Amino acid sequence: MMRKRTVLLITVVVAVSLIFAAPSFAAKKFFAIATGGTGGTYYPLGGALAQALSSKIPDLIVTAQSGNASTANLNLIAQHQIESAFVQNNTAYQAYTGVDQFAGKPVKNVRGIASLYPEVIQILILKSSGIKSVAGLKGKRVIPGDRGSGTAVDAENICKSAGLTFNDFGALDWLSFSGISQRMKDGQADAGFITAGIPTAAVMELSSTTDIDIINMDDGLIKKITDAWPFYAKVTIPAGTYRGQDKNVNTVAVMAQWVTDSAIPDDVVYELTKALWEEGTHVLRGDKAPSAAAIMGQVHAKGKDVQLKSALDGMAIPLHAGAAKYYKEKGLIK
């Protein structure tokens, strides 16, 4: 018995000694980014961002986690359950000001780090459905996105501008981008809303096997949308973005943003912001490391739109003090 106790005591002493002998390991901090479903744009870009940041910032391990998109991610921020997240700028504004789905429960601790790229609202329709416009969704089987997502908010706003509510649909379901793709592929849904950077993986996959179209919004509807919600802007999906799309498609877009909790220390957010936009030194190899934005541009087409010059576009919530410090140094804000 004494021998066993002696061995146990030695093991504990060695373990404790190793901890104190390796302060660099013990000092490692974890920082998470909530992204979106695996079929969208948030997921691959978040993974690339996390890996790039971890390689450049000593003593910080950044991880990307799949999430349920904007509204759910902002609720995680509100409850201090995640350090940062990708969200739509309109949903971030609604959260901070406590309106719409955040009425009575504002997320006052959400802060901006950077605007990333335009998120395009794509209303997918089966060619066999006969749908030609947003008004034509009436009586059809429609998926407005995942429950609690920014996409669902976009769907509601656009339908309202077209004189519709979700009650006008023949059938309603709530699914992620991948779920929308699968239901339409199986012929179990006529239309689905996807708000994401283009090209979107789920749309590419669906269009490769199924004859689909994307609703082309007329200028009158686009004006109604942008007049009612200034976060939206008219954009064009270029012809050839997806298989079978032989014409330009006019629609609207919001901005994808990287947001964080105001409780995160200023120096941490400053280093994250700097690593997003500037080259640095690789923590392990010691050689030059590209900016995280450059790495994002290598993994996804929308990553090429992540640029410092548009970092504050559509930023309708307060910046985190750490991010603000960096942008002041760059002369982007006073």
Are residues 94 and 178 both part of a single domain? no
Nearest of 89, 88, 90, 85 to residue 73 by alpha carbon: 85
Helix (H) or strand (E) holding 296: helix 292-299
The answer as to whether 319 is a domain residue is yes
Beta strands in 167-323 (DSSP E): 171-172, 191-196, 212-214, 233-237, 249-261, 280-281, 288-289
Max Cα-Cα span within the chain: 86
pLDDT digits (tens, 9 = 90+) for 186-233: 999 999 999 988 889 899 999 999 999 999 999 999 999 988 887 888
Q: Residue 124 forms beta bridges with which residues?
A: 192, 214
- What is the mean predicted confidence (pLDDT) over 294-302? 93
| 125, 237: one domain | yes
pLDDT value of position 231: 81
Range 92-112 average pLDDT? 95
Name which residue leads in pLDDT, 3 or 140. 140
Domain assignment present for 12: no
24 — pLDDT class (breaks 50, 70, 90)? very low
pLDDT at position 16 over 60: no
Q: Are residues 181 and 149 in the same domain?
A: yes
- Asked whether the beta carbons of 289 and 281 are under 8 A apart, the reply is yes
Cis peptide before 199 (omega within 30 of 0): yes
Regarding whether 314 and 251 lie in a shared domain, the answer is no
Same-domain status, 264 and 311 = yes
Torsion from C-alpha of 92, 97, 100, 105, nearest 10 degrees = 100
Q: Stretch 263-289: mean pLDDT, rounded?
A: 96
Q: Is position 7 within any domain?
A: no
- The answer to whether the CB of 143 falls within 8 A of the CB of 193 is yes
Confidence of residue 22 (pLDDT cuts 50, 70, 90): very low
pTM more than 0.75: no
Sign of the dihedral defined by the CA atoms of residues 152, 157, 162, 166, in that order:
positive
- The reply to whether 246 falls in a domain is yes
Strands 212-214 and 233-237: unpaired
CA pair distance 264, 83, nearest whole angstrom: 7
What band does 7 get if pLDDT is binned at 50, 70 and 90? very low
> Dihedral sign, CA of 64, 317, 98, 135?
negative
Q: Are residues 237 and 210 in the same domain?
A: yes
Q: Given pLDDT bands bounded at 50, 70 and 90, which one contains residue 41? A: confident
Question: Which of 5-9, 48-52, 199-203 ranks highest by mean pLDDT?
Answer: 48-52
Same domain? For 169 and 248 the reply is yes
Q: Are residues 247 and 150 in the same domain?
A: yes
| pLDDT given for residue 17 in this prediction | 34
Are 93 and 192 part of one and the same domain? Answer: no
Q: Is residue 4 situated within a structural domain? A: no
**CATH number for the domain harbouring residue 297:** 3.40.190.10
| The 3-state secondary structure of 247-281, one letter per residue | CCEEEEEEEEEEEEECCCCHHHHHHHHHHHHCCEE
Distance from CA of residue 209 to its chain's centroid? 26
Q: Are residues 123 and 196 in the same domain?
A: yes
pLDDT value, residue 6: 34
Task: Looking at the structure, tell me whether residues 78 and 129 fall in a common domain.
Answer: no
Residue 99 lies in a domain: yes
Residue 108 lies in a domain: yes
Give the C-alpha separation, 260 to 173, whole Å.
30
**Token pair of 20, please?**
């104190």
Q: Is residue 21 included in any domain, yes or no?
A: no
Domain count of the chain?
Answer: 2
Q: Based on the domain organization, do 107 and 125 belong to the same domain?
A: no
Domain-terminating residue out of 217, 239, 255 = 255
- Which of the listed residues 198, 223, 255 is the one where a domain comes to its end? 255
Provide the residue range defining the domain that includes 175: 119-255
What spatial distance separates the first Cα and last Cα of the chain, rounded to whole Å?
A: 70
Q: Identify the CA nearest to 190 among candidates 138, 132, 127, 126.
A: 126
Last residue of a domain, one of 240, 255, 270: 255
